[in-house]
Amino acid sequence: MDNQKQTKWKTSDYTRVSLLFFGQAILMIVLFVGAYALVDERENLLSMFLEDATLLSKCIYIFIAEILLSFITFIYFYTDKRDFIKKTSNIIMIFLVMDISFIVCFLFGNINIYLRPYALCAVILLFLVNKRTAIFVNCFFSMSMMLFDLFVNYYLETNFEVYTALLLNFISGTLAVFIVDEEGSRLKVLAQGLLVSIPVVVSAVCLEFTSGVEELWKTALFAGASGLLSLMILTVILPFFEYAFGILTNFRLGEITNHKSRLIKSLIERAPGTFNHTLIVASLAEACSNAINLNPLLARACAYYHDIGKIRKADYFAENQAGYNPHDELSPELSTDIIRAHARDGADIIRKYRYPEVLAEAAEQHHGTMPIRFFYAKALKFTDGELDIEDYSYYGPKPKTKINAIIMICDACEAKVRTVGNRTHENVDKAVKEIIEERMDMDQFSDCDITFRELDIIRNAITNALAGVYHDRVKYPKLKKGKKDAN
Ligand SMILES: [Fe+2]
Ligand SMILES: [Fe+2]
């Protein structure tokens, strides 16, 4: 959430972040000068600046303007997303998006000014951060591009064209933020690129109306390609950012919850019972996340992988057994060790296959430090003395995020509701309430900031969703042999 309480900064944080913002302003100037040298084809750049006082003063002016723009961007992030920019990698990611967008816009602008992928910077940030940041940084980027256009003044012959480019950058980028569906498929996102091109096409047609039919068509085609190009470059470049900065975009979440994904395929083959359980937990977790405004796709992905550790010893888990139970031949201690290992094994497998860390944490935390009551009770039967319940409990840690708390609750509810005989709404609600209260009593939510109100909303969401999963079937009347079919 954007308005969460923000942490305090030390002097070292201010210094580091200020240097990074200052560095970006300098890098933009270097890119400007580099582009200027490239389009002007002058060999000795230094003497060019020393000889031409106007050029030097222009350069100093643009440098100061860039510093001011950087400063305003810093103030925005500092007041709105302080924790986000405290992390150096996040700042580098934002600036890298801007620098890449600048280079791409410069290169395509050389072909035709209407071919510039104006919305590129905004759409990348939409997928990597959020709408608000995408809109704000796009404003900053549009201003920077305008400074560049004024400075280079190469393919834009008049200031009117420079301001048109500024307007298109702002309109096309902002429009893209509202039009492009972050939860849509890559193909749908590409198609939305055509809508993003509309303001560019309208401007191109209006401004080039007198340039002749052939030229007008050419310009309109370039303009039509602008938005599409932005979205095409986005789909190519996004995996790099996902990998380099460990960002889980909705594209990536969609891919890892695909049933053809490597680990999900293993789960289906080796532990089909667990896979079926996973599907129900995923739909419950999705409903809960929607109800308390968390990312439902992330909750779904965490649910898909929460029991992935069971593939190592699938037959030891009830849902995968068909009659034979290997625990009948094991001591309760050994059984406990096998059962509780699945949480750590899951995290281990997810990390080994380089899946996102957030999934590993969900797998590790989904049982918290809850006891495995069945084997604890079994062990008690074999001893006269006392037993430490911790020896029969999961290793933890307890859920550290709201989503992991949701996975914990949904996981337990799915298993418990199976055992409820008469699944009326009241009985299901009672079972869900018991699960949540039991975990509250055992202090399982003390490491995450979930509230009583949210737990109440989650309880209702699970009860309603489970009523849909386990609804009573309509009893079909038995047909006697020889009687004609009712159809
Ligand atoms: Fe589990
Ligand atoms: Fe589970």
Question: How many CB atoms within 10 Å of residue 333?
Answer: 14
SS3 call for 441: helix
CB burial readout 293-329, b (16+ within 10 A) else e: ebbbbbbbbbbbbbbbbbbbbbebbebbeeeeeebee
Gap between the Cα atoms of 275 and 265, Å rounded? 10
Alpha carbon of 306 to ligand 2 centroid (Å): 6
Q: What's the CA gap between 295 and 390, in Å, rounded?
A: 34
Query: Minimum-distance ligand to the CA of 363?
Result: 1
Mean pLDDT taken over the chain = 87
User: Residue 267: what pLDDT?
Assistant: 96
- Cα–Cα distances (Å) from 385 to 29, 333, 334, 381, 388, in that order, read 76, 15, 19, 10, 10
Instruction: Note the ligand closest to the C-alpha atom of 411.
Output: 2
Question: What tokens appear for 210 in the block?
Answer: 């007198």
427, two tokens? 């009985």
- 3-state SS assignment for residue 81: coil
Rounded to the nearest whole angstrom, what is the distance from the C-alpha of residue 367 to the centroid of ligand 1? Answer: 6
Ligand nearest to the CA of 278: 2
CA of 250 from ligand 1 middle (Å) equals 25
Report the distance separating Cα 215 and Cα 31, nearest Å.
Answer: 31
Q: What is the pLDDT of residue 485?
A: 42
| Nearest ligand, measured from the Cα of 280 | 2
User: Which ligand gives the minimal distance to the CA of 274?
Assistant: 2
- Predicted local confidence at residue 5, as pLDDT: 55
CA–CA distance, 279 with 268 (Å, rounded to integer) = 11
d(CA 220, CA 290): 42
Residues with CB under 5 A from ligand 1 (ion): 307
For residue 422 the two structure tokens come to 């008469």
Nearest-angstrom CA–CA distance, 424 and 266: 35
- The DSSP annotation for 396-450 comes to -PPP-SHHHHHHHHHHHHHHHHHH-SS--HHHHHHHHHHHHHHHHHTTTTTTS--
Share of the chain above pLDDT 70, in %: 92
pLDDT in tens, 50-107: 777 777 787 788 889 989 999 999 999 998 888 888 889 999 999 999 999 999 998 9
Closest CA to 461 of 400, 405, 398, 406: 406
Contact 372, 392 (CB under 8 A): yes
Between CA 31 and CA 147 the distance in angstroms is 12
pLDDT at position 487 is: 34
3-state secondary structure of 325: coil
Give the Å distance between the CA of 313 and the centre of ligand 1.
12
For the chain, which residues score pLDDT lower than 70? 1-6, 39-46, 48-49, 153-157, 468-487
**DSSP 8-state secondary structure symbol assigned to residue 475:** P
In the 3-class helix/strand/coil scheme, how is 314-357 assigned residue by residue? HHHCHHHCCCCCHHHHCCHHHHHHHHHHHHHHHHHHHHHCCCCH
Q: How far apart are the first and last CA of the chain?
A: 56
Cα 317 to ligand 1 centroid, rounded to whole Å: 10
In the chain, CATH 1.10.3210 covers 252-469
CA 420–ligand 2 middle distance (angstroms): 17
The topology (CATH level 3) of 252-469 is Hypothetical protein af1432 (1.10.3210)
Rounded to the nearest angstrom, the distance between the alpha carbon of 409 and the centre of ligand 2 is 10
